[in-house]
Chains A and B, each alone.
Chain A
Amino acid sequence: MSRQQEKLIVAMPKGRIFEEAADLLRRAGVNLPPEFEDSRKLIIPVPEAGMDFILAKPTDVPTYVEYGVADIGVVGKDVLLEEDRDVYELLDLNISKCKMAVAGLPDWKDDGNQPRVATKFPRIASKFFREKGQQVEVIKLNGSIELAPIIGLADRIVDIVSTGQTLKENGLVVHEEILPISTRLIANRVSYRMKSEAIDYVYQKFASVVEKKED
Chain B
Amino acid sequence: MSKPLGFEKPLGMRDILPGALQKQRWLQHRLLESMGQWGYCEIMTPTLEYYDTVGGASATLEERLFKLLDSQGKTLVLRPDMTAPIARVASSLLKEEPFPLRLMYSSNVFRAQAKEAGRNAEYFQTGVELIGSNTVDGDAEVIALAVSVLKAAGLKEFKIAIGHVGFLEGLLEETVDEAEQREELKGYLHNRNFVGFRKYVDSLGLDNEKELRLKELLTLRGGEELIQRAEAITINGKARKAVTNLRQLWDALEAYQLTDSVLFDLNLLSNLNYYTGILFEGYAAGQGFPICTGGRYDGLMAQFGRPAPATGFAVQMDRLMEAAPFVAKEMPRTLVLYRSEQRTIALEKARLLRQEVGVVVTQRKDEWDPRTSESYDRVLDLTKEAQ
The answer to whether B289 touches A190 (Cβ under 8 A) is yes
Instruction: Report if B196 contacts A (CB, 8 A).
Output: yes
Instruction: Report if A35 contacts B (CB, 8 A).
Output: no
Q: Enumerate B181-203 residues with CB–CB distance to A below 8 Å.
A: 191-196, 198-199, 202
- Measured between C-beta atoms, what is the minimum distance from B189 to chain A in Å? 11
Instruction: Report if A88 contacts B (CB, 8 A).
Output: yes
Q: Which of B192, B196, B198, B265 has the most C-beta atoms of chain A within 10 angstroms of its own C-beta?
A: B192
The answer to whether A190 touches B263 (Cβ under 8 A) is no
A196 to B157, CA, bound (A): 14
0/1 string, A63-74, CB within 8 A of B gives 1: 000111100000
Contacts of A155 in B (CB 8 A): none
A69 to B287, CA, bound (A): 9
The answer to whether A190 touches B199 (Cβ under 8 A) is no
Contacts of A66 in B (CB 8 A): 288
- Measured between C-beta atoms, what is the minimum distance from B59 to chain A in Å? 16
* In the complex, residue of chain B having the shortest beta-carbon distance to the beta carbon of A92: B195
A193 to B286, CA, bound (A): 12
Q: Enumerate A81-99 residues with CB–CB distance to B below 8 Å.
A: 86-92
Contacts of B193 in A (CB 8 A): 89
Chain B residues bordering chain A, tally (CB within 8 A)? 24
A194 to B199, CA, bound (A): 27
Q: Which of A89, A91, A193 contacts B283 (CB 8 A)?
A: A193
Instruction: Report if B23 contacts A (CB, 8 A).
Output: no
Interface band, chain A: 10 to 19
Q: Which of B195, B202, B221, B284 contacts A91 (CB 8 A)?
A: B195
Q: Which of A68, A91, A194 contacts B289 (CB 8 A)?
A: A68
Instruction: Report if A119 contacts B (CB, 8 A).
Output: no
Instruction: Report if A184 contacts B (CB, 8 A).
Output: yes
Query: A-B pairs with CB below 8 Å: how many?
Result: 54
Instruction: Report if B56 contacts A (CB, 8 A).
Output: no
The answer to whether A188 touches B192 (Cβ under 8 A) is no
* In the complex, residue of chain B having the shortest beta-carbon distance to the beta carbon of A68: B288
- Measured between C-beta atoms, what is the minimum distance from A208 to chain B in Å? 15
Instruction: Report if B299 contacts A (CB, 8 A).
Output: no
Q: Which of A67, A87, A91 contacts B192 (CB 8 A)?
A: A87
Once A88-B192, A214-B202 are accepted as A-B contacts, the answer to whether A67 and B288 lie under 8 Å apart by CB is yes
Once A86-B192, A87-B192, A184-B195 are accepted as A-B contacts, the answer to whether A190 and B265 lie under 8 Å apart by CB is no
0/1 string, B198-227, CB within 8 A of A gives 1: 110010000000000000000001000000
Q: Enumerate B256-270 residues with CB–CB distance to A below 8 Å.
A: 263, 265
0/1 string, B304-346, CB within 8 A of A gives 1: 0000000000000000000000000000000000000000000
The answer to whether A193 touches B161 (Cβ under 8 A) is yes
A66 to B199, CA, bound (A): 23
21 A–B contacts, CB within 8 A, in A order:
A67-B288, A86-B192, A88-B192, A89-B192, A89-B196, A92-B199, A189-B192, A189-B281, A189-B288, A189-B290, A190-B287, A190-B290, A193-B159, A193-B221, A194-B157, A194-B283, A194-B285, A196-B263, A214-B195, A214-B198, A214-B199
Partner-B contacts on A (CB < 8 A): 66-69, 86-92, 184, 188-190, 193-194, 196, 214
